[in-house]
Amino acid sequence: MSKFSSINKSLFKSLFVTAAFFAVSCGFLISCSVSKEIQNSMEAENLVVELSPTYIGRLSPINIGFACDVEKSALKDAVSIKPKIAGEWSVGADGASVVFTPSAPYNYKKEILVSVDMKKLLGKDCGVYQKKFCAMLPSYSVEFDELVMNEFNGGYSLGGTPQTDIPVSVSVAKKMLSAKMAEPGECSGSMGQIGLAVSRGG
């Protein structure tokens, strides 16, 4: 049974608590889907030995590992990502991989296209290797604390800890939540006020 069951039910007839997503309603969230995969040359495909999954988190790095060391000095000219995304390319610690680390979330509604000029990066004349990725949908959830009655004004307070797929500020977290008290079966008609406190998860 819910923690709320310990509250004196004579104090209110029905409590409705809504976790409201600040961006858009869940029913309208649409993730991109990867269109037809790109046909790279067989030689280029064989040179790629490690690859991030097609569907990645909105702030996840994109990693491409190769069968031989990369030319570090050519990195800037040899790799690209579209649409343009704030972030940085680097060579992996093994010297045989490249990593894109975003500094802002990917747009989950658009495909991400990574292109690698294999001749510039590896010295292999096998054309341009391309791979498509998609960012996963935003994810939000709230873990509520126990409802507490204020003995002095008859109101209630409710704490909650939002969990998100990427870090958000306290001000943004507060916009994710709303709460109201209402008669059973009613969508409006206030019976009182609920103060909603939000704490940032670790």
Residue 178: its pLDDT value, please?
Answer: 59
Radius of gyration of the chain (CA): 25
Residue 102: its pLDDT value, please?
Answer: 97
- Residue of higher predicted confidence among 143 and 3: 143
CA distance 164 to 95: 33
Whole-structure pTM value: 0.67
Confidence label for 147 from pLDDT (cuts 50, 70 and 90): confident
Output phi, psi for 179, to 5 deg. -150, 150
Residue 159: its pLDDT value, please?
Answer: 74
DSSP bridge pairs for 81: 114
Report whether 153 contacts 114 (CB < 8 A). no
20-37 residue pLDDT tens: 433 333 434 556 777 788
Arithmetic mean of pLDDT, 168-188 = 61
CA distance 115 to 130: 4
Judged against a pLDDT cut of 70, whether residue 202 lies above it is answered with: no
DSSP bridge pairs for 91: 98
48-81 residue pLDDT tens: 999 999 999 999 999 999 999 999 999 999 999 9
- Which residues lie below 8 Å from residue 50, measured CB to CB, with a gap of 6+? 63, 64, 65, 66, 97
DSSP bridge pairs for 162: 142
Residue type at 30 in one-letter notation:
I
Arithmetic mean of pLDDT, 179-190 = 50
**What tokens does 165 get?**
């797929």
Domains of the chain from N-terminus onward: 3-28+139-198 (no CATH), 42-135 (2.60.40.3710)
Confidence label for 153 from pLDDT (cuts 50, 70 and 90): confident
**What tokens does 113 get?**
């296209």
Report whether 50 contacts 64 (CB < 8 A). yes
Judged against a pLDDT cut of 70, whether residue 200 lies above it is answered with: no
Indicate the burial class of 29 (C-beta count within 10 angstroms; 0-12, 13-18, 19 or more): middle
Q: What is the torsional sign of CA 38, 40, 46, 50?
A: negative
Residue 16 DSSP symbol: E
Instruction: Name which of 129, 126, 98, 99 is nearest 113 in CA terms.
Output: 129
Judged against a pLDDT cut of 70, whether residue 180 lies above it is answered with: no
CA distance 97 to 66: 6
